A and B are shown apart, each in its own frame.
Chain A
């Protein structure tokens, strides 16, 4: 997306911006007039206590939930509504907090889904061979599941399924990658693998946004940090100053 890099000032370019973004469930404001700017080409961590609206934000950006109000600006697009199937057009892809693979199809097919033609008619005449398959195999190698490529996704362990879901979004040609709790429940070596995969995406120029409860990983991995509480923005900026913000310490870390 170098074409859209506007060199107006020295500020890092913005990959995604929300303006007064709103979402309520019943009377509860899950995301409450949230205005944030996500820098392009960096890893942005989102933290906050349970129920602070982190996952809801991810769901709104990917169209998994409809927004109630506000605007999302992605590149030149100003969006008042986002529908899930428009995510690739918006250059967005995501993983889910509760893993949502396609359990009763093979690992290979789980990845190929991210790569094949989207239109009903042309997909009828496309067969999953050649370059796409090679790319899928390369991703399976990278996440260490190549040997299981013809197994069903439901046969994998929890951690492996989590890795496959990350592999599936890597197979997308997206600009912005949303990871909802990518480290939860993973063994240490898998955490290291996911970290390196996210850094690899960043090195390729992609924008990464991830939600996590693990402050240590957030501190280590994030270039930029957003702290949310009760659907509102509590702090943003470089990780260390943001984490040391008195409001953050009080609201999120307690006492």
Chain B
């Protein structure tokens, strides 16, 4: 505090500095307020139907972002393969719940189960957990760069299975008419009802993730991220912890996939390409590494960007996709330069 020379110039130059400092110190708060206000304004201006769609997309990305943040933000494992688990969850529900009417693909008969959604959901989650266990056992040999490459391989392999295992997945044709969830005669048919269900699942995922990261287990995950060898000296099996969080995270991604399949009532391999995985990594880094609210913030920002960019004037519709990726890419680079932990993050890559 300078009292002796209270010149106007000093006062004026101090005010923006103070604002800037406050902006830096509380960037997460400011960005969260900005994003939520933008989302609210955007939804109010576009109407109810649009808002429900936007929010449902947000719940899907939110679940995925929390799932990946457990692995990437808390444990420091950069996985670009999470979209594979998302796909396995979606396809399991699709295959188990589809209606017998569309069972033929050429001469091949597609397996028909026609299970209710709530019976298929736990199977999808558990099956993904088992697959993740085996994948994770292989991955536990890798660290750092090799881990990224291995997870990259997993994303490619799972996509190829979706495309080529036509007897089950119907390949590029996709699986249609996936029914909406129904429980005891009540069908979540209406978009708003479905949104409520999706929000419920998002809440379940967020609460489980919060319980995990605030437990002793979560503390060990962070220590593994910081120094895997040192944490062993303190009696922890780092590989066991990595495997456990990997399986839990994969099951969360599968849950998101199951909700996605039921929401769109159609799955085909195009939803599970590598680019989606990379977008997911971007969302997590954008929102904040090692932060659950950060993951949600990242998901909301991305959904806003994805849906909002269409309304930018003078942008030809055919370039919307590219523009979105450019903006996301620039945001990522800016963050890596100036705030490597993401907006609300607790961990710098």
List chain A positions with a Cβ less than 8 A from chain B. 62-64, 83-89, 93-94, 96, 100-105, 109, 112-114, 116-118, 120, 123-128, 172
Is A105 within 8 A of B227, CB to CB? no
B219 CB contacts on chain A under 8 angstroms: 105, 109, 112-113, 116, 128
A117 CB contacts on chain B under 8 angstroms: 216
With A85-B232, A87-B235, A89-B235 as contacts: A103 and B226 at CB distance below 8 Å: yes
A118 CB contacts on chain B under 8 angstroms: 235-237
Is B226 within 8 A of A104, CB to CB? yes
Is B244 within 8 A of A120, CB to CB? yes
B240 CB contacts on chain A under 8 angstroms: 120
A172 CB contacts on chain B under 8 angstroms: 234
List, sorted by A's number, 6 A–B pairs whose CB atoms are closer than 8 Å.
A86-B235, A93-B233, A102-B222, A104-B222, A123-B217, A124-B215
Is B215 within 8 A of A102, CB to CB? no
With A64-B229, A105-B222 as contacts: A120 and B234 at CB distance below 8 Å: no
* In-complex Cβ contact of A87 among B212, B226, B233, B346 (8 A): B233
List chain B positions with a Cβ less than 8 A from chain A. 212, 214-217, 219-220, 222-223, 225-227, 229-237, 240-241, 244, 346-348
Which residue among B217, B222, B235 has the maximum number of chain A CB atoms within 10 Å of its CB?
B235
Q: How far is the CB of B103 from chain A (nearest CB, A)?
A: 42
Q: How far is the CA of A124 from the CA of B241 in the complex (A)?
A: 10
With A102-B226, A127-B214 as contacts: A88 and B234 at CB distance below 8 Å: yes
Is B230 within 8 A of A96, CB to CB? yes
B212 CB contacts on chain A under 8 angstroms: 124
B214 CB contacts on chain A under 8 angstroms: 127
A64 CB contacts on chain B under 8 angstroms: 229, 233
B222 CB contacts on chain A under 8 angstroms: 102, 104-105, 109
Using CB atoms, name the residue of chain A closest to B231: A113
Q: How far is the CA of A118 from the CA of B347 in the complex (A)?
A: 24
Using CB atoms, name the residue of chain B closest to A110: B223
With A100-B227, A112-B216, A124-B217 as contacts: A84 and B348 at CB distance below 8 Å: no
* In-complex Cβ contact of A126 among B216, B236, B346 (8 A): B216
B223 CB contacts on chain A under 8 angstroms: 102, 105, 109, 113
B347 CB contacts on chain A under 8 angstroms: 104
A125 CB contacts on chain B under 8 angstroms: 215
A85 CB contacts on chain B under 8 angstroms: 232-233, 235-237
Is B220 within 8 A of A123, CB to CB? yes
Q: How far is the CA of A120 from the CA of B235 in the complex (A)?
A: 11
Q: How far is the CB of A181 from chain B (nearest CB, A)?
A: 16
